[in-house]
Chain A
Amino acid sequence: MREKILYLLGLAAFVILARDIYLIARLPPEAAQGYAFKIIFFHVPSWVGAGASVATALVASVLFLITKNFIFDAAAVASTEVGVAFLSAGMVTGSLWARPIWGIWWTWDERLTTTLVLWLLYVGYLMLRHAIEEPTQRATFAAVVSIFAFIGVPIDYFSIRWWRTQHPSPVFFSSTGSFPSDWGAIMGWNILAYLLLAAVFVAVRLEQEQAQRELDSLRRLAHSF
Chain B
Amino acid sequence: MGQTTIAEAPSSVQPATRARPSLWHQVFIIIAKDLRAELRTKEAVNAALAFAIMILTLFSFAFDPAEDETKMYAGGLLWIVFAFAGTLVLNRSFARELPNDCLDALIAAPISGAVLFLGKALANYLLVMAVELVALPVFGIFYYAKWYSHFWDMMLVLALGTWAITVIGTIFSALTVNIRLREVMLPLLTYPMLVPALMASMQLTVDLVNGKSVGTDAIWLKVLASFDILYTAASLALVEIVLVG
Nearest B-chain residue to A145, judged by Cβ: B189
Complex contact B181–A131 (CB within 8 A): yes
A141, A149, A155: the one contacting B175 at CB < 8 Å is: A141
Bin chain A's interface residue count.
Answer: 20 to 34
For chain A, residues 101 to 131, give those with C-beta under 8 angstroms from any C-beta of chain B: 113-114, 117-118, 120-121, 124, 127-128, 131
B98 to chain A, nearest CB (A): 15
Nearest A-chain residue to B194, judged by Cβ: A117
Complex contact B196–A148 (CB within 8 A): no
Bin chain B's interface residue count.
Answer: 20 to 34
Q: Which residues of B contact A143 (CB under 8 A)?
A: 241
Task: How many A-B residue pairs have C-beta atoms within 8 angstroms? Tell me.
Answer: 60
CA distance in complex: A162, B178 (Å): 39
Given contacts A131-B181, A140-B241, A148-B231, 10 further A-B contacts (CB under 8 A): A113-B195, A117-B192, A144-B175, A144-B241, A145-B189, A147-B234, A149-B193, A151-B230, A152-B193, A163-B219
B185 within 8 A of A: yes
CA distance in complex: A155, B196 (Å): 8
Complex contact B219–A162 (CB within 8 A): yes
Q: Which residues of B contact A (CB under 8 A)?
A: 171, 175, 178-181, 185, 188-189, 192-193, 195-196, 199, 219, 230-231, 234, 238, 241-242, 245
Complex contact B179–A132 (CB within 8 A): yes
A137 within 8 A of B: yes
A65 within 8 A of B: yes
B179, B193, B234, B241: the one contacting A121 at CB < 8 Å is: B193
A128, A140, A151: the one contacting B185 at CB < 8 Å is: A128
CA distance in complex: A136, B241 (Å): 11
Q: Which residues of B contact A127 (CB under 8 A)?
A: 185, 188
A45 to chain B, nearest CB (A): 25
B27 to chain A, nearest CB (A): 22
CA distance in complex: A143, B234 (Å): 13
A140 to chain B, nearest CB (A): 5
B185, B196, B199, B241: the one contacting A131 at CB < 8 Å is: B185
CA distance in complex: A133, B181 (Å): 12
Complex contact B192–A147 (CB within 8 A): no
B178, B180, B196, B242: the one contacting A152 at CB < 8 Å is: B196
Q: A137-B245, A140-B241, A148-B231 are in contact. Are A114 and B188 (CB under 8 A)?
A: no
CA distance in complex: A147, B241 (Å): 12
Complex A-B: 24 CB contacts under 8 Å: A113-B199, A118-B192, A121-B189, A121-B192, A121-B193, A124-B185, A128-B179, A128-B189, A131-B185, A132-B179, A133-B180, A137-B245, A141-B175, A141-B179, A141-B242, A144-B242, A148-B193, A148-B231, A148-B234, A148-B238, A151-B230, A151-B231, A152-B193, A152-B196
